Structure 1
């Protein structure tokens, strides 16, 4: 292992490798034109001496801060907390620092105010997890700094968006339940009262898109979704809300043998409610969740869930943001994760 020598400078590296200071700088920073042998010689000296690149100086020379920002509505949601961890991890491979912050998703101006206040002198670009409640227009996403959005809201072709395909994912999950004999399906996680005509044409929103996928699968299977079996949770997708919504569904008296929960937190609560009422999972009721958060694998029984590909979303969004920072010419795109169902113990 190379031993770091105190006070090693780039000039010392250049002298030892027998090249100019500029050539050494280009070799270390992966820029400039030189023979492979020259670059290898410089990098061998770097390894031998333990020279460390002055990241701050390099970024200053490039007109960069060396940092990007991830803004999310909350870090209390397990999915968003895991997303933040994945973005930070992915950024390390690019020698980038990630500032993680939140803005209020209260249906007012949380996201728009944050975009207005964003300072590109402190961060080279922004990864923005779009809010579920706030209404915004295309012009709100027309900013003068690199921006990549994440989540289930439309970006109107104004900026890149990276997300799971909620409609396809939910359709895949519901089909999985129907293939395993489910004949009456309950759903936990609707924002408002179930309106099939509106849900059938939904184009954005986690709950609306996922419910649309469930509806499409049920229609194809010839199964009617009973409104009494649609658990309304508003925007509160937590374990306690899932527990209470599942209780209400059970109390309706309408028989069901499958339950689709629109995130894993809701599913964890729903499974607890089913057990409290003496219903066995998966013998009496099969349950599927969404997002494949870490806790889902450690329930008893482990939760069958749709994997929202958090790691892929983080890496893809960061790579797209870096290309925007580097001013790579490309049209705004919607990049979709491929659906993956993780079959575990809550289904047969």
Structure 2
């Protein structure tokens, strides 16, 4: 049957026998609504052909219908940010929003004057001066990962349970017989980087293992990574390492190449893993164990959190929204060995 009017939230609510506010919360991602209810509401919305009236909504709230996105400096060194950005754009498009990508060198003062409803800030870093300005500015900020101590709090943040994932990875390496692990750590000062380092150090302490951490620039050229790997596998007065955990997906490829050039058999006498997964790691030879951060879903959750903030009353003094995205460890040949 053809409708002679646009489908409304009330139509969706009536079909499911729920309140209009429940349907609204499920569509916008705000409020306390179960995942199952969100799924059912969106299925009915698709079935009925519901389309949010974004024009009226923007006019009513003096909104622009635009989200500003700021990626960290040197973000092109990690494919994670590309996937997260795709998720952000996809979710924003479904909500009738437009995404503006801010240049990393953009002045925080200028960004504060943008005709946007909110800013999504991925991986805020203490070393990035623009982060401080954006968080203290006029526009509401939603961060992908919480802010490190010392920065203003955002209106919302999306994160993942990184500590348990790192521990799961390290337990796996221990079961495979490693006793002298090392971490190749970039010069980053964001929540994610500091959390995974702290998890590695505390796990080592709990197992009576001295943590070996080799700090490198970010992004580090292959020759710098090669030098770091050469020092770790040689020992240089210490016990040579039997496992290397690289923080980024790009770094771990250079770790594997360098280890092989130095005569180590990755997956056999040297186990290698990364704390960020990407498709290329599953195709590498050997395939590389890594933590899948589900970057595209992470980006989508950032937009949902942004919509919840935008929809909320400007005078609402509620606590900041915090969402947690599940992550998984993908075990592959670089730690499992040959089949």
Q: Output the TM-score relative to the length of structure 2.
A: 0.74
Cα deviations across residues 198-253 of structure 1 (Å, max 9, x unaligned)? xxxxx954433222111111112222224xxx322033256564334213323444
Question: Using the alignment, how far apart are the partners of 1:114 and 1:294 within structure 2?
Answer: 34
- Match runs of 1:82-121 below 5 Å: 82-104=83-105, 113-114=107-108, 117-120=111-114
Q: Could you say which residue in structure 2 is the equivalent of 1:196?
A: none
**Cα drift, residue 333 of structure 1:** 3.7
Cα deviations across residues 113-153 of structure 1 (Å, max 9, x unaligned)? 32553235x22211012135225898862433232012363
RMSD between superposed Cα atoms in Å: 3.5
Native 8 Å contact 2:155 2:320 kept in 1: yes
Matching of residue 217 in structure 1 with residue 218 in structure 2: no
**Higher mean C-alpha deviation, range 52-61 or range 331-340:** 52-61
Question: Using the alignment, how far apart are the partners of 2:13 and 2:190 within structure 1?
Answer: 50
Q: Could you say which residue in structure 2 is the equivalent of 1:76?
A: 76
Q: Could you say which residue in structure 1 is the equivalent of 2:252?
A: 267
Q: Could you say which residue in structure 2 is the equivalent of 1:342?
A: 330
Counterparts in 2 of 1:55 and 1:325: CA distance versus 1, 3 Å? closer
Native 8 Å contact 1:83 1:310 kept in 2: yes
Native 8 Å contact 2:157 2:321 kept in 1: yes
**Corresponding residue SS for 1:76:** helix
**Corresponding residue SS for 1:65:** coil
- Match runs of 1:38-57 below 5 Å: none
Native 8 Å contact 2:84 2:297 kept in 1: no
Matching of residue 233 in structure 1 with residue 216 in structure 2: yes
Question: Using the alignment, how far apart are the partners of 2:291 and 2:109 within structure 1?
Answer: 31
Unmatched runs of 5 consecutive residues or more in structure 2: 16-45
**Corresponding residue SS for 1:219:** helix
Counterparts in 2 of 1:34 and 1:167: CA distance versus 1, 3 Å? closer
Greater relative CO (CA pairs within 8 A, separation 6+): 2
Matching of residue 128 in structure 1 with residue 114 in structure 2: no
Question: Using the alignment, how far apart are the partners of 1:135 and 1:175 within structure 2?
Answer: 37
Question: Using the alignment, how far apart are the partners of 2:13 and 2:174 within structure 1?
Answer: 61
- Match runs of 1:299-338 below 5 Å: 299-327=284-312, 329=316, 330-338=318-326
**Cα drift, residue 299 of structure 1:** 0.8
- Match runs of 1:283-298 below 5 Å: 283-298=268-283
Unmatched runs of 5 consecutive residues or more in structure 1: 1-12, 18-23, 37-46, 105-109, 193-202
Q: Could you say which residue in structure 1 is the equivalent of 2:177?
A: 181
Q: Could you say which residue in structure 2 is the equivalent of 1:250?
A: 233
Q: Output the TM-score relative to the length of structure 1.
A: 0.72
Matching of residue 208 in structure 1 with residue 194 in structure 2: yes
Question: Using the alignment, how far apart are the partners of 1:314 and 1:239 within structure 2?
Answer: 29
Native 8 Å contact 2:108 2:134 kept in 1: no
Counterparts in 2 of 1:216 and 1:300: CA distance versus 1, 3 Å? same
